[in-house]
Structure 1
Amino acid sequence: MSFFNLISIGVGLSMDAFAVSVCKGLCQKKMNWKNSIIIGLFFGFFQAAMPIIGYFIGSHFYSLVSGISNWIAFILLTIIGVQMLRESKESVQEEVCCDISGIMEIDIRDMIMLSVATSIDALAVGFSFALLNINIIKAASVIGILTFLISSAGVYIGHKFGSRYKNTSEKLGGIILIIIGIKILLEGLL
């Protein structure tokens, strides 16, 4: 897999975390960079860890599905992408933790739950990485670093511009994952 494809997948996977980060940024009357970095670290860590877990699960099944691995990767990425597109249309308000003074609070349990929830799709991508025999350390590192940067920026964007980019980011992420899935399928067929 090319480095460009890996970056594209990382950006696509980070869009859920970005959307939540934007919502977290809505709480800040004054930009708090420390909170922005903490949120980025939570999301980046979990987005890097989940593909590794998925990879190890997938590597156990590789011999059973190696002949159709491109189809499985295509199906998984397409399902994840379509789900992200559906979520972007629902316009569900994210629950953010603000107190009445407009200061964002970081609750560790809340951040762990949000981080796991936004990185479940990365688990499935890690599974497909095992089927495609991709270097998981390189892939997880790229995904984690991109998610950290994009999520940290999301807090700032939420603070500055509000929630108008939340649905757009989820749509973009879904489209990117579907395109990568189609590309993987075509590469396997040709």
Structure 2
Amino acid sequence: MIEASLQTGQLLTLIIMAVALGMDAFSLGIGIGLKGIRLLDIVKLSVIIGLFHIIMPLLGIFTGQYVSTLLGGVATVAAGGLLLLLGGHMIYSSLRGEDVPSFNHRSVFGLTVFALSVSIDSFSVGISLGMFAADVLLTVLLFGFIGGLMSIMGLLLGRKVSKGLGEYGEALGGIILLTFGILFIL
């Protein structure tokens, strides 16, 4: 009885952590969706984000306790910096119109930058989880599934809203990313 309640408590804790980590993917998804995105790109980006939400905590878990104290804050600041750059570029691109090439979320580089920016905090969480007796497979699969699912929800929501906003959608998406980047750094 006590063992079952401990397992339920651990599962609930992991779900809450996965949702908290997935909120970055959700907010980024809204920002990118506001720019306008095809359904195929939504699937690709969400799968990549889900994979990064599996790989990054795994890397963190295997990195160990020593690195935890060194990289905990650095990972969050790096993610904030990436979001600041992406958001600033989206705002600049929307204000300048067609003159400025937009950041391409369809390219391998663009997919990697977006996925890394929302999953880098999973690395530091993985380091912390490596110090505890958490079920590694369950943890990373849960993080990946929920991260991918939340990015799909954000991308679809942003896409739907962008149809009503027209050309201002990209600027609003940039403002959202810029805001989250500032919050990460502070």
Bin the TM-score by the shorter chain: 0.5 to 0.7
Q: Which of 51, 54, 58 matches 1:45?
A: 51
CA distance in 2, matches of 1:118, 1:22: 13
Q: For this pair of structures, how many residues does the alignment match?
A: 152
Shift of 1:8: 1.0
Shift of 1:95: 3.9
Indicate the RMSD between aligned Cα atoms, in angstroms: 3.9
Give CA-to-partner distance per residue, 1:65-100, whole Å, 9 cap, x none: xxxx9xx8xxx5xx69x97xx99xx8x835459995
Give CA-to-partner distance per residue, 1:117-147, whole Å, 9 cap, x none: 2211101111111111111110000010011
Residues 11-160 of structure 1 aligned to structure 2 (within 5 Å): 11-28=19-36, 32-58=38-64, 61=65, 93=87, 95-96=89-90, 106-160=106-160
Cα gap change, 1:105/1:43 in structure 2, threshold over 3 Å: closer, same or farther?
Answer: closer
Q: TM-score, normalised by structure 2?
A: 0.64
Structure 1 residues not aligned, in runs of 5+: 175-190
Cα gap change, 1:43/1:95 in structure 2, threshold over 3 Å: closer, same or farther?
Answer: farther
CA distance in 2, matches of 1:35, 1:157: 14
Q: TM-score, normalised by structure 1?
A: 0.63
Equivalent position of 1:5 in the other structure = 13
Shift of 1:32: 2.4
| Partner secondary structure for residue 35 of structure 2 | coil
Paired residues of 1:36 and 1:153 also in contact (CA < 8 A): no
